[in-house]
Structure 1
Amino acid sequence: MKKGKIIGIIILIIIIIAGFCIYSYNKKEQVKEVSLTYVTAPLNVPSIVEKNEQMFTKEYAKKGIKVKYYDITSGSEQTAALASGNLDFLNAVGGTSAILAASNGVNLKILSVYSRAPQGFVIVTKDKSIKSVKDLKGLKIGGPKGTILNQLLVAALKKNDMNLKDVDYINMGIPEAMAALDNGSIKAALLAGPAALKAEESGAHVICDGKGLISGLIVTAVNENFAKAHPDLVNDFLKVQKQAIDYINQNTDKALEQTSKVVGLTKAQTEKMYSWYNFNPTITQSDITALEKTQDFLINSGMQTNKIDIPSLIYHN
């Protein structure tokens, strides 16, 4: 519970320093620039296509508006920047980060689904004697806490009648977890995307992935005040997102070639990962249920203290 309070305090401090937790948008003022995140990992094909093909740039140029990209990958940093008004849109943020931020007073709305990729989140090991989740009992496992990967570990343990008390879970980033797995200081690592593929190629094997356990849900979000003041610009954002999906479906080889260059994978690796992803932006009841389960995980793990109504987070024009 203390950790949840600390996270809340940190987010609120960042918001206050940035200018106060509610950023003022004036409907009468002409918007000169729209800002959004540019996150390429683990395999964010739409973002890469949108930027390479200048889709957002061309769409907003029709209204004389420039587009500015921000390469911010940390979910907490993204939501803090959104709350302060330094960002208008989050174009790929974890469902965990969006829920945590909203529960701590960040004024955001979820616009659409960015991706679903449960198979893109895995638990891997290099120890051949470890063949199942049950074999992890009492062992050191490394991975980022408060994330989809953390949620995967909890769900996998629960399915095998275990919990986090049955393992030695160490909080570390994905690159650090990979390094720790290589040098033997941990027995298993929580990895996602290219890191998971590279770990397999270096001798690791997958104990389990997120299929049937988590949704792997990534979403897009907007500052609610910005959305209220400029619903037309929100519609333009959603329009471009759908255009990008259509482009990918019609030009898959080209889109994956662009993506492989950006994320540093071979074409074969990119194609393999792409098969794990569902980029349909429409929010379904299943997605809302998945977000509600994510909130339950955050509350039960002590990272979230204030329960919120998930359906009320969804943007409606």
Structure 2
Amino acid sequence: MNGHLKKLAAALLLSLAALSARAGGKIAVTYITPPLNVPSMVEKRLGLFAKHFGRPVEYVVLRNGPEQAHALAAGDVQFLPATGSTSVFLSVASGAPFRILGIFARSPRSFKILAPKDSPLARPEDLRGKTVAGPRGTILHELLALWLAEAGMTVKDVNFVSMNVPAAAAALAAGRIDVALVTGAPAWRMARAGYAVLRDGDGLVGGEVLSVTTEAMLRDHPDLVEKFLAARRETLQWIADHRGEAVRIAAEELDLNPEDVEAQLPLYDFSMEITPADADGLQRTADFMAAQGMMERAVDVRSLFAAPRP
């Protein structure tokens, strides 16, 4: 049993006790602001989870996907309002009883394959033998593989170096790599600064971020699950009715100009419902991870949906 599995197993043993201890007290949720999680920032500012739960809410900042999954499995948090699909699938493949409540965001155009300014690189075949950096086992990694496949290539045809998004962006800016896989505000800033966008995720990946809880929450506290979803719906309606104020809140939280937030918003779709296209895209991501040998077993994504399958 590897380290990840041991941690998950220990977490799962603790989860029931943690859930029981919190049953009459405060609810804990993760709070993630980047890349542009406007609903999370608005919800926290307005206190809508506390309003709907009728009890205090603790916001836990965990920006690493595996840490978020571990906290949910351990019962340290009861909900992940916004978490990457890859960490969810890795955890489920390792035995974590997670359930997907809905989509938090879709942003395929925010995922970009970037090259230096005035780069001669343009087509996937141009990357053969080049050094490409980005986070392994993520939507960005999947985007690279799918784009290369259009030229009959695989990731093995490039010199792939696994590193996080900020490190990849910095390496490209310093000229240490040929191509970077970047998303969120760093990708938007670099594209605006003139870096070459070789491909974004539009038409290749869905870029889905998920809202997730556990089987135990669904079984033992369906009322809290419905209150969570009601708070999410109210948040989205408030954003629709008060777009300018929502932009201001996000700008303050991310230390950006409101104009920069407004310019990036069209890249994001925050509607909650899981569509058939979402389900297909998520399954492709899970299948990609399994094919890459990143998961110990395949995952049937539709079996994870809390609501009826689309």
**TM-score, length basis structure 1:** 0.92
Do the aligned residues in 1 keep the contact of 2:8 with 2:94 (CA within 8 Å)? no
Q: How many residues align?
A: 307
User: 2:170 is matched by which residue type in structure 1?
Assistant: A
Find the counterpart in structure 2 of residue 252 from structure 1: 243
Mapped partners of 2:49, 2:14: distance in 1? 27
CA RMSD of aligned residues (A): 1.9
Q: Paired residue for 1:186?
A: 177
In the superposition, relative to structure 1, how do residues 300 and 248 fare at CA in structure 2: closer, same or farther (>3 Å)? same
Match of 1:32 in 2: 25
CA pair 26-147 structure 1, distance change in 2 beyond 3 A = closer
SS in 1 for 2:267: coil
**Cα deviation, residue 31, structure 1:** 2.0
Aligned residue number for residue 291 of structure 1: 282
Tell whether the 8 Å contact from 1:21 to 1:106 is kept in structure 2 after alignment: no
Letter in 1 for 2:238: Y
- Report whether the alignment pairs 1:241 with 2:232: yes
Other structure's SS at 2:42 match: helix
- Matched residues in 2 for 1:208 and 1:154: separation? 12
Q: Distance in 2 between matches of 1:106 and 1:21?
A: 12
Task: Confirm or deny: 8 A CA contact 1:11 1:80 kept in the other structure.
Answer: no
Given that residues 93 and 219 in structure 1 are in contact (C-alpha distance below 8 angstroms), is that contact kept between their aligned partners in structure 2?
yes
Are residues 1:104 and 2:99 paired?
Answer: no
Paired-residue identity, % = 33
Structure 1 pair 21–303 and aligned structure 2 pair: CA distance change class (3 A): farther
Deviations 1:231-250 (A, max 9, x none): 00000000011111101111
Alpha-carbon distance in 2 for matches of 1:198, 1:71: 24
Partners of 1:257 and 1:160 in 2: CA distance: 43
- Equivalent residue, structure 2, for 1:9: 2
Matched, 1:90 2:80: yes
**Aligned position for 1:72:** 62
Cα deviation, 1:271-311, whole Å, max 9, x if unaligned, reads 22110111110112211111110111001111012112222
1:43 maps to 2:33:
no
SS in 2 for 1:23: helix
1:271-290 to structure 2, matched below 5 A, reads: 271-290=262-281
Structure-1 separation of matches of 2:154 and 2:273? 33
Deviation, 1:190, is: 0.5
Q: 1:152 aligns with which of 140, 143, 157?
A: 143
User: 1:23 matched to which residue of 2?
Assistant: 16
- Which residue of structure 1 lines up, in the alignment, with residue 123 of structure 2? 132
SS of 2:2's equivalent in the other structure is: helix
Using the TM superposition, give the Cα deviation of residue 28 of structure 1 relative to its aligned residue in structure 2, in angstroms: 11
Q: CA deviation at 1:87?
A: 1.1
Instruction: Confirm whether residue 269 of structure 1 aligns to residue 260 of structure 2.
Output: yes
In structure 2, distance between residues paired with 1:31 and 1:109: 22
Structure 2 match to 1:215: 206
User: Which residue does the alignment assign to 1:4?
Assistant: none
- Decide which of 133, 144, 147 is 1:142's aligned counterpart: 133
Tell me the secondary structure at the aligned position of residue 275 of structure 1: helix
What residue in structure 1 maps to residue 162 of structure 2? 171
Offset at 1:11?
Answer: 2.6
SS in 2 for 1:87: coil
Is the CA contact 2:14–2:75 (under 8 Å) kept in the aligned structure 1?
no
**Aligned partners of 1:16 and 1:105: how far apart in 2?**
8
Deviation at 1:182, TM superposition (A): 1.2
Q: CA separation in 1, counterparts of 2:21 and 2:5?
A: 28
Which consecutive unaligned segments of at least 5 residues does structure 2 have?
Answer: none
Q: Which amino acid aligns with 2:208?
A: L
**Range with greater deviation from structure 2 (14-23 or 218-227):** 14-23
Shift of 1:9: 2.5
